Chains A and B, each alone.
Chain A
Amino acid sequence: MDKNLSIKTENLGIRFFLKHEYQKGEKGLRIFQGRIKKEEFWALRNVNFEAIKGEVLGIIGVNGSGKSTLLKSLAKILPLSEGKLWVNGKIAPLIELGAGFNPELTGGENIFLSGTLLGLSNETIRKNYYKTIDFSGLNKFLDIPLKNYSSGMLTRLAFSIVANLEPDIVLIDEVFAVGDEPFQQKSFKRILKFIEKGSTLLIVSHDLNTIARLCKKVIVLNEGKIQFNGEASLGIDYYKNLLEGIKSIPSEDMERIDR
């Protein structure tokens, strides 16, 4: 892979097997016979793209188009069913804040647990410990188990853990869309800092304004395939047209599509 690139995919595909269970009643017999129909579902197919080092790439698409699946496959959470993936550098997946939180442990303990989950060493975490705590503003609550935290406190803790990271690649999946106004501003500032430090960013969002502000390039996903890969403003227009196309379909047909 070209040294300039952070990520490269070639014909990437992720397939799920949907197991349809039959309702009791008219199809009751089938459960009895143990038959559950398995359906192949390609969440992503034939995905080819490259992310240059330091680039900020937006990934947009309707719900179910494969955006999160793409990020998960890049973060090596989902194995590829098809194709190849090259990653150059350390990835920080901000796919769900507070993923590793153990409610029985205290805030301080969870800082270590989450940090090591992201691949950091205990020493690195120790060095940044007070920075992390100050950032969160949760100094008083450090020795209290997480199950007693409010949801706002959890978000703040989770965010401050990732705030001190300096990864090569950051995958952001709408995590910064939650929280109150000050939190959102803080998140935005942090994203800018990541960009400043030269990390490659892949941002999944429905917030087209954020995408327009941050990203130079955009990928539009639809039904698991890349429909557009290029300049951000053009991509956003393309996506808007796509949405219009979907909106113009009458509602009864809409239901059929959503199913």
Chain B
Amino acid sequence: MLNKFIKEISEIYSFRHLLLNLIKSDIKIRYKNSFFGFLWHLLNPLFYLGILALVFSQIIRIQMENYVLFLFAGLVSWRMIQQTSLIATHSIVNNQELIKKVHTPKLIFPLATVISQFIEHITLSLILFIFLFILKGKISPVLFITPFMIFLIFIFSLGLSLFFATIHVYIRDTPHMMGIAFQALFFLTPILYPLSFLSPGMEKFFKLNPFYYFIEYFRYPFYYAKIPSGELTIIVCAISLATFSLGIYTFLRNKESFIFHL
């Protein structure tokens, strides 16, 4: 298996120009034919944030210091994972024509999708940073670890993407099931509310959710303005690595048989 991994990575390297072109095409097509182009992809989450913030701070009245910032930080990291995985799940099936006609290292398709998605999400993170100024959050040097955090979320999302992209080839309901699961998880993960709102019993249960750690981790530079604990960092690294391993293993194990199911 390690052999397969090394072979695949070295093939991706020799096809690196293709990877670049796939990412460029992906981004270009997304913004083609739309008048506001790039703007929509930023306005969408911002509007969503606006509505949520309005409802949960004015109507449902969650009492929290700088709730909008809290919410935005959680939303940005959640979207990074959810959007990327959901879209990347289609990456093999959507490229079936290519796969059936030309030899490519199949890993290139989910990889290109995840990278192109992340470029968008990193932009959103920058906007979040601007929000920090506007909402007078605390700007601290902890912000410097943001790239590292994004990297960990990237690895985690890539792992999920590889796993589900593989499954989708054989079970075409996958995106539907994922959609429902993500919807449920959105409310069951402390994004709209802090973990402290839960009773100790529920808290333990909610801590079984791996997504929680990434959301919480990402809040440290933007909301808490503190260095995250070593314990949290280790958990996040471990989950990222484990998910990536599972994803890449499943992918490499099955990639030879993709063509027979496309």
Q: Interface of A with B (CB < 8 Å)?
A: 16-17, 75-79, 91, 93, 95-96, 99-100, 102, 104-105, 109, 112-113, 116-122
The minimal Cβ–Cβ distance linking A222 to chain B, given in whole angstroms, is 23
The minimal Cβ–Cβ distance linking A202 to chain B, given in whole angstroms, is 15
Is residue B140 contacting chain A, with contact meaning CB distance below 8 A?
no
Q: A76-B103, A96-B101 are in contact. Are A116 and B17 (CB under 8 A)?
A: yes
Chain B residues closer than 8 Å to A113, beta-carbon distance: 18, 21-22, 25
Chain A residues closer than 8 Å to B176, beta-carbon distance: none
Is residue B20 contacting chain A, with contact meaning CB distance below 8 A?
yes
Among candidates B17, B25, B29, B32, residue contacting A122 with C-beta atoms closer than 8 Å: B17
Is residue B100 contacting chain A, with contact meaning CB distance below 8 A?
yes
Chain A residues closer than 8 Å to B21, beta-carbon distance: 112-113, 116, 122
Q: How far, in whole Å, are A78 and B104 apart by their CA atoms in the complex?
A: 11
Chain A residues closer than 8 Å to B6, beta-carbon distance: none
Chain A residues closer than 8 Å to B22, beta-carbon distance: 113
Cross-chain contact A119 with B15 (CB below 8 angstroms): yes
Interface set, chain B 63-121, CB cutoff 8 A to A: 97-104
A16, A17, A75, A100 — most chain B CB neighbours (10 Å): A100
User: B97's closest neighbor in chain A, by CB?
Assistant: A99
16 contacting pairs across A/B (C-beta < 8 A): A16-B260, A17-B260, A76-B103, A79-B256, A79-B257, A91-B103, A96-B101, A104-B32, A109-B25, A116-B15, A116-B17, A118-B102, A119-B15, A119-B18, A122-B17, A122-B21
Q: How far, in whole Å, are A122 and B25 apart by their CA atoms in the complex?
A: 14
Chain B interface SS verdict (over half)? helix
Chain A interface SS verdict (over half)? loop
The minimal Cβ–Cβ distance linking A85 to chain B, given in whole angstroms, is 13
Q: Interface of B with A (CB < 8 Å)?
A: 14-15, 17-18, 20-22, 25, 28-29, 32, 97-104, 256-257, 259-260
Total A-B residue contacts, Cβ distance less than 8 Å: 62
Q: How far, in whole Å, are A93 and B103 apart by their CA atoms in the complex?
A: 9
Among candidates B25, B257, B259, B260, residue contacting A105 with C-beta atoms closer than 8 Å: B25
Q: How far, in whole Å, are A100 and B109 apart by their CA atoms in the complex?
A: 13
Q: A116-B15, A119-B14 are in contact. Are A102 and B25 (CB under 8 A)?
A: yes
Cross-chain contact B20 with A75 (CB below 8 angstroms): no
Q: How far, in whole Å, are A91 and B102 apart by their CA atoms in the complex?
A: 11
Cross-chain contact B25 with A93 (CB below 8 angstroms): no
User: B28's closest neighbor in chain A, by CB?
Assistant: A105
Q: How far, in whole Å, are A76 and B256 apart by their CA atoms in the complex?
A: 10
Q: How far, in whole Å, are A113 and B22 apart by their CA atoms in the complex?
A: 7
Cross-chain contact A99 with B98 (CB below 8 angstroms): yes
Q: How far, in whole Å, are A162 and B259 apart by their CA atoms in the complex?
A: 24
Q: How far, in whole Å, are A122 and B98 apart by their CA atoms in the complex?
A: 19
The minimal Cβ–Cβ distance linking B251 to chain A, given in whole angstroms, is 15
The minimal Cβ–Cβ distance linking A148 to chain B, given in whole angstroms, is 13
Among candidates B17, B101, B260, residue contacting A121 with C-beta atoms closer than 8 Å: B17
Q: How far, in whole Å, are A154 and B211 apart by their CA atoms in the complex?
A: 47
User: A102's closest neighbor in chain B, by CB?
Assistant: B25
Q: How far, in whole Å, are A121 and B101 apart by their CA atoms in the complex?
A: 20
